[in-house]
Amino acid sequence: MPIEPPTPMAAAFVGHGSPMNAIEDNRFTKTWATLGASLARPRAILVISAHWYIDRTAVTSMVNPRTVHDFGGFPQQLFDVRYPVPGDPELAGEIVDLLKPTAVELDSQGWGLDHGTWSVLVHAFPRADVPVLQLSINAGQPFDWHFALGAKLAPLRKRNILILGSGNVVHNLRAMDLSKPDVGFDWARRFDSDVRAILTNHPADIVAIRRHPDFQRAQPTPDHFMPLLYVAGLADAEERPLEVLADGFSYGAISMTCYGLDVPNLGVARPAPASHRDADAGPATLS
């Protein structure tokens, strides 16, 4: 009898929002904790974070990646956070080989784990005992290039590697209204809803999202959107859509929507479509 292929490890995109989520207990951090608890232990975690946005493609290859505090103006408690997780230089080499002919640089000391990674993983994998690597976002490449690179990562899932994109579908810091912590502005909700319609039906269409009339407002710079392209590429490689894991907004102009591929049923109600929710409604719960 033919040997059945191993069940692939899940993949997910997480709307990570403010760095303060690392030290807060809210409905979003509970989402991340539930996600981590729902999965079998991965061999390692590969994160594509919005905050490693550089002029080349690189993968962290250090034995002990440092916790990068890539922000300012936050309480000392946040700067005191450390996520002392191991790296995996052997896996970094596998990723270099897998992505050929794309040139991938091994980064053994320049970066580490930024808050797009550790602010989520301190909740999802609080014991910090699963190796973690980051793959940079090459700022000089177009959306279809990143989507295709995400699809090339698909074999890692059968090697028990959890692939995690970390950014935000809507990310406009200048438009935020701090008096509206759980609200999405109309344009933000409209863009988030249209992205959802694409990803839950035909993920390959996401590469054309820059033509959306609200794109520039939703993403003044594209760095927080690009991690989603990698997870969409993985879904397209499987010829399946993504599922919504959680949704909601922060301060009018930040979408916290999360998507998953082969994520186990997390046991709570599916969020309502963003277009059907009141502008003053708070974030929905997990799907």
Domain tally, the chain = 1
User: Any idea what the CATH number is for the domain that residue 174 is in?
Assistant: 3.40.830.10
Please give the pLDDT value at position 157: 97
Give per-residue pLDDT as tens, 63-95. Answer: 999 999 998 899 999 999 999 999 999 999 999
Give the residue numbers spanning the domain of 244: 11-276
- Reported confidence tier of residue 9, pLDDT bands at 50, 70, 90: very high
Residue 283 domain flag? no
Does residue 32 fall inside a structural domain? yes
Rounded distance between C-alpha atoms, residue 275 and residue 51, angstroms = 29
Domain membership flag for residue 29: yes
Q: What is the pLDDT of residues 161-180, one digit of tens each?
A: 999 999 999 999 999 999 99
Confidence band for 275, pLDDT divided at 50, 70 and 90: very low
**CB neighbours of 15 closer than 8 A, spacing ≥ 6?**
28, 167, 168, 169, 246, 254, 255, 256, 257, 258
Residue 282 lies in a domain: no
Q: Determine the pLDDT at residue 266.
A: 66
Radius of gyration of the CA atoms of the chain, in A: 18
How much is the pLDDT for 277? 36
Q: Is residue 287 part of a domain?
A: no
- The answer to whether residue 94 sits within a structural domain is yes
Q: What is the pLDDT at residue 264?
A: 86
Which pLDDT score, from 0 to 100, does residue 7 have? 83
Pairs from 261-266 (Cβ < 8 Å, separation ≥ 24): 261/10, 261/11, 261/12, 261/231, 261/234, 261/235, 262/7, 262/8, 262/9, 262/10, 262/11, 262/157, 263/10, 263/12, 263/35, 263/38, 263/39, 264/10, 264/38, 264/39, 266/31, 266/34, 266/35, 266/38
Secondary structure (3-state) at 118: helix
Residue 278 is predicted with a pLDDT of: 35
Domain membership flag for residue 102: yes
Q: What is the pTM of this model?
A: 0.90
Q: Is residue 5 part of a domain?
A: no
